[in-house]
Amino acid sequence: MKDLRLEVDGGVATLLIDRPQARNALATQTMRELDESLGSIQESGARVLVIRGAGERAFCAGGDLKELEHMRSEADAAEMAHTMRATLDRIPQLPIPVIAALNGDALGGGAELALACDFRVAAGHARIGFAQVALGLIPAWGASERLAALVGRGRALYMLLSAATISVTEAKELGLVEAVYTSDSFDASVSELAKAIAAAPAPALAGIKAAVNAVRPHHHPELADETIAAFAKTWADPAHWDAVAKMERQRRNR
């Protein structure tokens, strides 16, 4: 794979988004590789999967807008969103626990990826934010319903409408993150946690995950079509691309 690295060691699989030059943003190639990796993970014999980003700055900065800017039509946007939502919906359906290890910022689509995982642990310097509305967009990969299930309707609307980026300490208080480790101890702490989970028998892990999912499903495919149609309209709207151009100018001027 070009953009991802998958390693399996002692029952622990680690899927690394390896695009630090783009803050681990998701290009179309990355999205394809993510889907392929999730489709094959059961064959690896792993009993737990850790998803993280390369480096310390970013877990995932969302979609790579530079790479996706050629995709301007509603039809193209809808196809991309359907594909990526289906990819993220694989995660709660896997029989093994999936941990989002936030080594850095999880923003936009990166926050959507983190929410699709079974739970989240984070380095102390990491942040989480849903910046889609600042670009004239709505989340299209299932984050709205997942966020509301985790933090409640009002808090979900606040985060989605304000585009606020919050610290992981705040995120832990809201229930978005289960554990925060110091930046220096993050790698070791994630490894220790994953190994402890992988030490349990696979049927026990699968049974616990299935029982919890039965109480609170983590994917809602019946909501996808309407959400994606709305997303596609915002993606194709000139206001979105004006916001993207403004953001790029601000970055160059820093």
The pLDDT of residue 197 is 98
Give the span between the Cα atoms of 121 and 181, in whole angstroms: 8
Long-range contacts at 68-77 (CB < 8 A, ≥ 24 apart): 68/27, 68/28, 69/241, 69/244, 71/235, 72/235, 72/236, 72/241, 73/236, 74/232, 74/233, 74/235, 74/236, 75/232, 77/231, 77/232, 77/235, 77/236
Q: Which residues of the chain have pLDDT under 70?
A: 217-219, 221
The pLDDT of residue 219 is 64
The pLDDT of residue 223 is 76
Residues 6+ apart with CB under 8 A from 33: 1, 2, 3, 4
The pLDDT of residue 71 is 82
The pLDDT of residue 236 is 93
The pLDDT of residue 44 is 92
The pLDDT of residue 252 is 80
In the block, which residue shows the tokens 């989002």? 100
Give the span between the Cα atoms of 116 and 63, in whole angstroms: 15
Residues 6+ apart with CB under 8 A from 27: 3, 19, 64, 67, 68
What's this model's pTM, rounded to 2 decimal places?
Answer: 0.94
Which domains does the chain possess? 4-202 (3.90.226.10)
Residue pair 147/115 in contact (Cβ under 8 Å)? The answer is yes
34 burial via Cβ count (<10 Å: 0-12, 13-18, 19+): buried
